[in-house]
Amino acid sequence: MSVYLSAADQLHTVRDFLRFAVSRFNEAELVFGHGSDNAYDEAAYLILHQLHLPLNQLDPFLDARLLPEEKTSVLDIIDKRANERIPAPYLTHQAWQGDFEFYVDERVLIPRSFIYELMGKPLHAWIEHEELVHRALDLCTGSGTLAIQLAHYYPAAQIDAVDISLDALEVAAINIEAYDLKERIHLIHTDLFNGVDERYDLIIANPPYVDADSMSRLPEEYRKEPSIALGSGSDGLDIVRRIIQEAAAHLNPHGVLVVEIGHNRDALEHAFPKLPFTWLTTSGGDGFVFLLTCEQLKNQ
């Protein structure tokens, strides 16, 4: 008999189901990184979500007994995570960056960019006051998460959010409407700068940057995400090259470009040896996000 069939009879409390989920996740050797980094935290999150309980209050409910229909619901989401290896945010349609919550589904990359950490004060050396950003551009916007945070940190800005994927822009529209930002964030379906005629004070981009070798070795959880949002040629820099080569024509004289490039710092500096990249410090380190000014880009 399947372990899941017997579980409904043998498990009764939240504590029981938490133990069961952690065991199943470890047994399946799941890969994490889409919101949590271990089996226990992911199990707790999925169970609390499924039971419509506060996500930050596990202890008060550990010994609560589940109704039969609640058992079925919790076992179903544990089964999908363990056996189908669907990332947790696709199961719950929830993702967070900082204090911001977003809707996500299989049409978009699950948000995990470091760029959100850099908006506002961390960029004061280049943008002294947030009110100086009148127009901003979010390239490869995906679910629109960074565009929404741009609107929060730069209250005077009108924001264009670009993506080549219509599916992604549909998800972005859901999030933009949820934050009541339709008047400030404008979605554009195009390939990077194609057809974009504006000049911006700030351009950000979290483009595809996974190289071909890494793409071939991605864990199954990451293969659930749209490949168009991950892979970028043999060295992972196909899209970044285009952004660097074209950005100056779309920046105001004092504008800046901020781009996330994953683990490709060495390859990027080798490809553009004359560019004086500024590497910004994030929670992941100082090798994942670079900044260039309009002047620096023009002189490359």
Strands 100-102 and 285-293: unpaired
The token pair that represents 235 in the structure block: 């060295």
% of the chain surpassing 70 pLDDT: 100
pLDDT at res. 100 = 95
Q: State mean pLDDT over 59-76.
A: 96
- Taking only the tens place, the pLDDT of each residue in 84-99 is 999 999 999 999 998 8
SS3 174: helix
Residue 199 has pLDDT above 70, yes or no: yes
Q: State mean pLDDT over 140-154.
A: 97
Q: State mean pLDDT over 236-262.
A: 96
**Which residue is associated with the tokens 């998800």?**
171
- Indicate the helix (H) or strand (E) that contains 282: strand 278-282
Q: Are 289 and 279 a contacting pair, CB within 8 Å?
A: yes
Residue 129 has pLDDT above 90, yes or no: yes
pLDDT-based confidence at residue 178 (cuts at 50, 70, 90): very high
**Would you list the domain boundaries of the chain?**
3-92, 110-298
- Taking only the tens place, the pLDDT of each residue in 265-281 is 999 999 999 999 999 99
Q: Give the CATH fold of the 110-298 domain.
A: Rossmann fold (3.40.50)
| DSSP states of 208-224 | --B-HHHHHT--HHHHT
% of the chain surpassing 90 pLDDT: 94
pLDDT at res. 1 = 45
**Which residue is associated with the tokens 């409390």?**
13
- Taking only the tens place, the pLDDT of each residue in 231-248 is 999 999 999 999 999 999
Q: State mean pLDDT over 182-205.
A: 97
Residue 5 has pLDDT above 80, yes or no: no
pLDDT-based confidence at residue 2 (cuts at 50, 70, 90): confident
Q: What angle do CA 276, 237, 140 make, to 5 degrees?
A: 95
Q: Considering the chain, what is the average pLDDT of its residues?
A: 95
- Indicate the helix (H) or strand (E) that contains 189: strand 185-189
The CATH code of the domain at 3-92 is 1.10.8
Instruction: Note whether 3-92 and 110-298 share their fold.
Output: no
- Phi and psi (nearest 5°) for 168? -65, -40
pLDDT-based confidence at residue 9 (cuts at 50, 70, 90): confident
